Structure 1
Amino acid sequence: MMDVLYFAWVRERIGLPRERIETSATTVAELVAELRDREPRYEAAFSDLSALRVAVDQELSDFDAPLDGVREVAFFPPMTGG
């Protein structure tokens, strides 16, 4: 089991701040593919990966990052300076 967290407009599109999921995905990209296949709201949230960032166990990561042993994956838009 792993926690998947959604922030900002990703959370708004999916309608959840977080969920616990069981996955057979071995990379973040595979996890995204699984999520997109669930329902249209996930497809909408993950339709443009260039507009998303991902953190694996609270470390900024890439979509090809392995998920072996990972407890948490978070998706969020790029941070803007301020």
Structure 2
Amino acid sequence: MAEIDLDHPAATVDATGLECPLPILKAKKALSTLEPGQMLEVITTDRKAKQDFEAFCRQTGNPLLAHRDVGEKVHHYLQRRA
């Protein structure tokens, strides 16, 4: 399987300033527009977003590829399930 390049997502959702459940809802909507295997980046500032995205990915079967802390923001990388 080819390695995913986290620096080149197919789409990015900026959910900074939003609290749960809004980042998850925006991610779910964006994932529905992607092709299977494509990657979505979601940028959040909600302190609980890491746990929320981990649970969301477990429940939906969309792989969570990584979290990156960038200053006050967290970048989440999800892959659209096949």
Q: Which has the higher contact order (CA 8 A, sep 6+)?
A: 1
Smaller-chain TM-score bracket: 0.3 to 0.5
Higher strand content, 1 or 2: 2
| TM-score, reference length from structure 2 | 0.33
- Please give the TM-score of this superposition, normalised by the length of structure 1: 0.33
